[in-house]
Amino acid sequence: MRIYFDNAATTAIDPEVFEEMTRVMRDYYGNPSSIHAHGREVRTLIEKARKTVAHLLNVSPSEIFFTSGGTEADNMAIRMGLESYGINHAISSPIEHHAVLHTLEELERSKGLKYSLLDVDSKGNINLEQLEELLQNSPRTLVSLMHANNEIGTLLDIERVSEICQKYDALFHCDTVQTMGHYKYDLTKLHVDFVTCAAHKLHGPKGVGFIYINHNIKIKPLLFGGAQERNMRGGTENVYGIVGLAKALELAYNEIEDHQRYIQSLKTYMIQQINEHIPDCTFNGEIEPEKSLYTVLNVCFPEMDMADMLLFNLDIAGISASGGSACSSGTNIGSHVLTAIGGHPDRPSVRFSFSKYNTKEEVDIVVSKIKEIFLHEVLR
């Protein structure tokens, strides 16, 4: 039996989502851009899915655009937000996903974009005073900050960032790929211009996501082609993926409080078991429930000779997780997130990420296996 603790990378598809998608694949094969009956019935499925997503976020269906996933959605928000408004300065942080950081780096090379990276503390908290200072000097800019860090789970005070951006007339893009479906959003009460989502992080299919674009924002398309997505994204729609996304988000919202309590209990239990059975461990990022994404726990283990083999040994033991270490200057690539928060380059870190399908029994097995690995290391 394998244990899957890498849900921040991707989640298992929900059986109800799978059933809905296969029904669409089997019975609805028309091109949604065709005007005949076969096309119209498929177009109806897409618009029904759009209305479902919009209803859950309390926005207009006209503000939801389907994409191939979070990376495309992030690129669309950043590239076209900057270009459409003639903005030449962006603000982000060094712990953002590479879909954001690499996009900013490329725009710096190709377009001469100037961007600022905010300071972060040892837990991955963003310096919001610095954000306000930067916006005082450059008020009309684009701010791109994720709601929860994908490696360490630290949550952003999204309401506070929203207030600061509104105060200085800045565009605010929030990458919610890790949090969509895990927290409820009412986007009419939150001043945010762009929100991005990937379905496979919430028990939906891979290769589909969406971007929310506030109705007050008018941007150019990133992808040109046909008139799909109201002329905002060329290309035939991934119909069964879109249907699966909407179903997955609907299921997540229906069960969200129960899942929060259950998954947080798994995380809390694993923290307790690690503290009890594996000495000298610390945790990367915030771990207090109100400050941390409840699906993610990043553990920094004691220094060991074969640190780079820890994940491999876990894999051999039947445990799927992810991780790495902070960059050691000139010797490895490492994790840019752990480096930014001052992580120890000689200590291995592992991200364990949970879902509704995990159990306390699995936590016990994982902690026991890790204990065996470190005991073997000591006896070598």
The residues carrying an active-site annotation are: 327
**Which amino acid type is present at position 373?**
I
Token reading at 222: 């990133």
Tokens 């809905």, residue? 20
Q: Which residues pair with 126 in a beta bridge?
A: 120
Q: What angle do CA 374, 376, 380 make, to 5 degrees?
A: 120
What contacts 132, CB < 8 A, 6 or more positions away? Answer: 164, 167, 168
Burial class (CB in 10 A: 0-12, 13-18, 19+), 75: buried
Token reading at 374: 């470190």
| DSSP H or E run through 1 | none
Give the span between the Cα atoms of 306 and 288, in whole angstroms.
30
* Gyration radius of the chain over CA positions: 22
C-alpha distances in Å from residue 153, one per residue of 11, 173, 310, 331: 16, 18, 21, 26
DSSP E strands, the chain = 3-4, 64-67, 89-92, 114-117, 142-146, 171-175, 194-198, 209-213, 282-284, 296-300, 319-320, 322-324, 349-353
Q: Do the bridges between strand 296-300 and strand 114-117 make them parallel or antiparallel, or are there none, so unpaired?
A: unpaired
Pair 226, 157: CB distance under 8 Å: no
Q: What is the DSSP annotation of 125-189? A: -B-HHHHHHHHHHS-S-EEEEESB-TTT-BBP-HHHHHHHHHHTT-EEEEE-TTTBTTB---TTS
